[in-house]
Amino acid sequence: MGESLKRMPRLDSLTGLRAFAALAVFLHHATAYQDSPDWAGFITNAGDEGVSFFFMLSGFVLAWNGRTSDSPGSFYRRRAARILPLYWIAWIIGGGYAIAADSHRLADMLPSAFLLQSWFPQKDIHFAGNSVGWSLSAEMFFYLVFPLVFVGLRRMNARAVAAVLVIALIFVIAIPLTLRPTEPAGIGYWAIYLFPVTRLFEFIVGMSLAMVLRRGARFPVPVAATAIFALVASVASNWLPLYGLLVASTAIPFVLLLASAADADRAGKGSIFAWRPIVKLGEWSFAFYLVHLVVLRVVIAVTNRTIPMPWWATSAIGLVIGVAVAAVLCEYVEKPLEKRLRGDGRLPVSLDDGPTASRTVS
């Protein structure tokens, strides 16, 4: 039972995929926060499904790089060094803008300062301040339980781990189809989209998939095929009711995409997502996710008061500025602070925390 958990090869395609998932999130917000054609809003509406991809991706990479010699304390320290500095910077910036725009109160923002906002069903709390930060609240819960789940999966044989993968995937699909919320508000919506306990199943899906592949399973399907399938499934999900659009419709396509991309990198084949410029954008995507909504809202507000522009122009400007700000934050704030706080002077082999985004405009 179990396996020898040696250092695994880099999976640059997974880092590159983060750039495209972050772009989808940005485009969703770009059409939701300003007047845009119905067709544009329809196409980009599924962009917020990227949250499911990033939860799976986070579980996958952490399990892929996991080692038996690691202690829970060391793991928690690395996770805190990776997440907290940039999160708090974005919390201050986003919260300051929210207060200045009179859209949120400081009291409602306090839970998000401690990454607790996703545990509250009230929209004014879980989307307070820098609203996209809610997913990091769920991620912190995932990190808390990761050492225990990882030890359990490591002790299982390959067939048992595959069973965990299937069972977790069933829960990912069944929960929203059981609760069936019809609007992005209320306890049902919160339970399937923001509640950390229900979102944990996607994280476990990613962990289980990584452990299955670590035990030698192969998935030699072209990455282009699974990427196209995931894209088509995301757009097609716009015709589904809300409870089908959220999480359930893209769960299987995202699993297939992760499996094919990881297998291609392990086999040395790579993919377009492993192209160095795309990988660099993927490295910046965490910072981009945290600041993109504030940048976009400022660009929209400034252009509306000075030189009104069509939605696509303000979106393009917001994208360029957002990427530039993210690059500076990642290279000169995020990475140096992480090295210092980790205490070992090293960065992880693969930056594994993907950006996530809220579905609802808030």
Instruction: Tell me the C-alpha distance between 310 and 117, whole Å.
Output: 34
Triad 26, 96, 319: Cα angle to 5° = 20
CA 87 to chain CA mean position, Å: 14
Instruction: Tell me the C-alpha distance between 340 and 332, whole Å.
Output: 12
Question: What is the pLDDT, as a whole number, of residue 358?
Answer: 35
Are 126 and 362 a contacting pair, CB within 8 Å?
no
Question: What is the pLDDT, as a whole number, of residue 346?
Answer: 54
Question: What is the pLDDT, as a whole number, of residue 90?
Answer: 93
- Reduced to 3 states, what is the DSSP secondary structure of residue 183? coil
Give Cβ neighbours of residue 94 (< 8 Å, ≥ 6 apart).
Answer: 129, 130, 131, 132, 133, 290, 291, 293, 294
Question: 198: closest CA among 115, 125, 253, 121?
Answer: 121
Question: What is the pLDDT, as a whole number, of residue 355?
Answer: 44
**Alpha helices of the chain — where are they, by DSSP H?**
12-32, 38-44, 50-64, 72-100, 106-113, 123-126, 134-155, 158-179, 186-193, 196-214, 223-236, 242-245, 251-266, 276-305, 311-329, 335-342
Instruction: Tell me the C-alpha distance between 52 and 236, whole Å.
Output: 16
Question: What is the pLDDT, as a whole number, of residue 98?
Answer: 84
CA 242 to chain CA mean position, Å: 20
Structure tokens at 95: 């919260």
Question: What is the pLDDT, as a whole number, of residue 100?
Answer: 82
Q: Which amino acid is at 346?
A: R
Q: From the CB of residue 13, how many other CB atoms can be counted at a distance below 10 Å?
A: 28
Are 160 and 144 a contacting pair, CB within 8 Å?
no
Question: What is the pLDDT, as a whole number, of residue 316?
Answer: 96
Give Cβ neighbours of residue 350 (< 8 Å, ≥ 6 apart).
Answer: 10, 11, 12, 14, 15, 61, 64, 65
Question: What is the pLDDT, as a whole number, of residue 38?
Answer: 87
Averaged over successive runs of 10 residues, the pLDDT of the chain (362 residues) comes to: 58 94 91 88 81 93 87 90 93 87 79 95 89 93 96 93 97 92 86 95 97 91 95 90 84 96 91 94 95 94 91 95 96 89 57 40 34
